Structure 1
């Protein structure tokens, strides 16, 4: 196997700015392969590459405009906490074990609680993409509203749900979204499907971390 060429951070930032969806999809394909151990069986997912991939998703929330500003702000703060935690904890399992030992899994601001919120953000984007691709006649407002109701609404207070509902009218059109993502109808379908397929095992992995320790997911 040949030597890997060191990545240039400036080029990576430029790529993310040029085609953010493609960059996110590729990052989560890498994470899903890590979970599978590159075909050698499940492994313990490391926190640093996971949180790094999750940080890229913030750009997608930004492309959705004001309606998803609440999600962008909450999501980015939780991801930043996990990035900081990666200096101390090696894996996702290790932060959960630490919080279990300290009876702080559901405590406001705990790494485990922030992991749950990041997981919701990943699932929200996945559900939105699934709805978007379900029909060429489906508006972004319809796709986003359905995705929000499925994923986040059960965990949000009525005031937040009401504000989100009002903000849905400010979502970009499908054509405007394509322009912001720098994609075509054909390429956006390909990249959204990549993200859907690669994020699913990541979301399931996080859920199983909690369920395997008899921690319910209704919070």
Structure 2
């Protein structure tokens, strides 16, 4: 069996992020990678337009897992990237940590919007504009915006993850709070570094 069952996915993801110690920069690399893996199922629930994001995120998590034995904490991953000049290099562990934080912000923003009563399409669209759209090229943004027209309804999404309005709000609140604490802490490690825009192209997935 792979992943959490639909009726346990959201609380499982929430627990994974709440369990991360965000009191210091020394967030465990392996635990961070494991928590990010808990996010992956959402991309199968919000529509096929974001399946590329699942693919990209999975690849980035793998690069973090590949160094977790040598770099036990995220501050070590980022420090190594600064030292060897790979922090802005495509698919380097340090750059991929930053990219994963962007994705985490995106997911957190979706749940914030759902808590406001937005339809799923509006919640995802607004979350994307405020997060991932900031690093995507125009052609990628245009493709994703077009694909959002096929997103499921709010009701269908909640049913697909086995949650009611009340239970989803309860679990998501803890996730959003934990995600924001984590992002705020780790982003400080990148102060003084100008991170590049994404050079991702959806067509690259089919090459």
Decide: shared fold, TM above 0.5.
yes
1 CA distance for matches of 2:119 and 2:196?
30
Aligned positions, number: 197
Offset of residue 65 of structure 1: 2.0
Residue 170 of structure 2 is matched in structure 1 by 190
Alignment match, 1:19: 8
Q: Is the 8 A contact 1:207 1:217 kept in 2?
A: no
Hey, what's the Cα distance between the residues in 1 that align with 2:173 and 2:5?
18
Give the 4+ runs in structure 1 shifted more than 3 A: 13-18, 216-219
Q: Say if 2:109 and 2:127, in contact at 8 Å, map to a contact too.
A: yes
> Who is 1:3 aligned against?
none
d(CA) in 2 for partners of 1:58, 1:15 = 11
Give the corresponding residue for 1:169.
Answer: 149
Report the counterpart of residue 110 of structure 1 in structure 2: 92
Select which of 35, 38, 52 maps to 2:22: 35
**Cα distance in 2 for residues equivalent to 1:14 and 1:143:** 25
> In the TM superposition, what whole-angstrom CA distance separates every residue of 1:32-63 from its partner, at most 9, and x where no partner exists?
xx122xxxxx3511101111111110011221
Higher helix share: 1
Structure 2 partner of 1:124: 106
Equivalent of residue 28 in structure 2, options 40, 46, 58? 46
- Residues 156 and 208 of structure 1: CA distance in aligned 2, closer, same or farther (over 3 Å): same
1:145 paired with 2:125, answer yes
Length-normalised TM-score, structure 1 = 0.85
1:78 to 51, 54, 60: 60
> Contact 1:47–1:82 (CA<8 Å) still a contact in 2?
yes
Higher Rg of the two aligned structures = 1
Output one character per residue of 1:124-180: Cα deviation in whole Å (capped at 9) or x when no partner: 001111111112xx2111110010010011111111101100110121111111111
Say which SS state the counterpart of residue 183 (structure 1) adopts. coil
DSSP-derived class of the 1:177 partner: helix
- Of stretches 60-69 and 181-190 in structure 1, the one that deviates more from structure 2 is 60-69
RMSD: 1.6
TM-score between both structures, scaled by the size of structure 2: 0.89
Q: SS state of the match for residue 39, structure 2?
A: helix
**Does the CA contact (< 8 Å) of 2:10 and 2:172 recur in 1?**
yes
Matched residue, 2:181: 201
Q: What stretches of structure 2 of length at least 5 have no aligned partner?
A: 198-207
Structure 1: gaps (5+ residues)? 1-9, 37-41
Contact 1:16 1:23 in 2 (8 A): no
